[in-house]
Structure 1
Amino acid sequence: VKVNDLEGKTVGLYFSASWCGPCRRFTPELISAYEGLVPKGDFEVVFISADEDQEQFDKYFSKMPWLAIPFSDSDTRSSLDEIFEVSGIPNLVILDGNGNLLTDDGTMMIREYGVESYPFSTERIQELKAEEENARNNQSLKSILVHSARDFLIYNDGRK
C-alpha cells in the first residue's frame, strides 16, 4: 500500500508489542473499533512494533487487520517513537487527514468509547462525556441495562 493512499484519512498510529500484556488485551478492542470504522472509508491504523525480532512481529501482526511499518525499518519506528514521545505502550496516536495530531490519547478513547469516539476530536469526547453525565443524572433501568445494539436481557437457557 502506498502512503499516498492514506491521504485524507484519519490514521491511528498503533505503538504496541507482542510481549506487552496490556497491548495484547487492547489489540482486540482496537480490532473491534477498526472493523466498525473501516466501512466509512476514511480511517486506517498503522502498527508500529516494539517487538524484539521479526518472528515476534510476524506472529503478532498476523492477527491484525491493518497496515504496519515493516519491522526491518527500525529507523522509521524509532523516529516515530521520538516524534510522538511514546513513553509506554499500548499507545494509539490519532492523526487527521493532513497528518496533524488529533490526540495522543487514542488508547483511552477506544477503551472508553470504542467506535463512538470517532472522529477522535476533543469536541467528540466532550459530547460523549456530557451524554454519560446526562445518563447518570437521568438514570433508569433502561438507561443502565439497554445498549444501542440490544434492548433485551436473557435467561440462563438463552431465552430473551
Structure 2
Amino acid sequence: HALGVVFQSHEELKKGGKEVVLVYVAADRDEEVIHTLKRCGQENQIDGRCDMECFESVLKILPTDWLAVPFEPSSTFDVRAQLISSYRSGIFTLAFVSSDGKLHTKDGFKILDEWGVDAYPFTQERIQQLVHQSLHRASNQCLKSLLTTDTRDFLITPHGKEVADHTHGHRRSMQCWRKCLGR
C-alpha cells in the first residue's frame, strides 16, 4: 500500500509539472526489519536470498525514472547506513529532503495520506499553510465548502453531468437531506 501511494503521487506530481526526484535506499534486510516482520507474523517475507539479490529484485519493479543508492556491502563508507541513520523514522520511511540536503520531514507517508500532492514541495511552511487553510475552512464552514474543493467547484448529477450552479446543487442537497431526516 505504501509504495502504491508513492507511485501514484509521483505520477500526479509529474503530470502537474512538479519536479521530484525519488531515491530508493535499501534497508530491507537489517535486523530491525527482520525482527518486525517476525513480530507481525510475516516470516514468509524473509527468504534465504542475500541482500544484493533482494536489492536487485526491488530495482526491477521501480519506475525507470527513480534512482537508487547502489548496494555496496563491502564499502568502507556505507552511504546507505549514513542515509538511514539521518532520515529513517520507521521500517518504511518516506523522507522529503530538499536538493541541498535539508530534511523537511521523515513523515512523508503521513503527509501524502493526509494532504496528498497538495503538500508539494513538502516543506514545513507548506504543511503549515495547509493546516491553516483547513482550520479556516472548518471555522467558516458552509454547505459550499463541504461540497466543493480548491480544485473542483462543481457537483455532478446521478448521470455524471457537471453542475456548476452551486445554488441548484445546494438546494437539491438540502431537499434530499430533509427527506432523509423526514422533514
User: 2: CA distance between counterparts of 1:57 and 1:129?
Assistant: 35
CA separation of 1:125 and 1:36: change in aligned 2, threshold 3 A: farther
User: 2: CA distance between counterparts of 1:108 and 1:33?
Assistant: 17
Contact 1:31 1:65 in 2 (8 A): no
User: Structure 2-normalised TM-score?
Assistant: 0.59
User: 1: CA distance between counterparts of 2:118 and 2:3?
Assistant: 22
| Count, aligned residues | 134
Where has structure 1 moved over 4 Å in runs of 4 or more?
A: none
Contact 1:33 1:110 in 2 (8 A): no
The answer as to 2:48 corresponding to 1:46 is no
CA deviation map 1:10-59 (0-9, x unaligned): xxxxxxxxxxxx4234223432453256x244x32212234562453134
Contact 1:94 1:102 in 2 (8 A): yes
Contact 2:23 2:69 in 1 (8 A): yes
User: 1: CA distance between counterparts of 2:133 and 2:126?
Assistant: 11
Q: Cα RMSD between the aligned structures?
A: 2.7
Between 129-138 and 91-100, the greater mean CA deviation after superposition: 91-100
Q: Which ranges in structure 1 are unaligned for 5 or more consecutive residues? A: 1-21
Paired residue secondary structure (1:44): coil
1:158 aligned partner: 160
Name the structure with the higher strand share. Answer: 1
User: Structure 1-normalised TM-score?
Assistant: 0.66
Contact 1:29 1:111 in 2 (8 A): no
Q: Which ranges in structure 2 are unaligned for 5 or more consecutive residues? A: 29-50, 163-183
Contact 2:9 2:117 in 1 (8 A): no
The structure showing larger relative contact order (alpha-carbon pairs under 8 Å, at least 6 residues apart) is 1
Name the structure with the higher helix share. Answer: 2
Look at both structures and tell me which one has the larger radius of gyration over its CA atoms: 2
Over the matched positions of the two proteins, sequence identity in percent amounts to 31
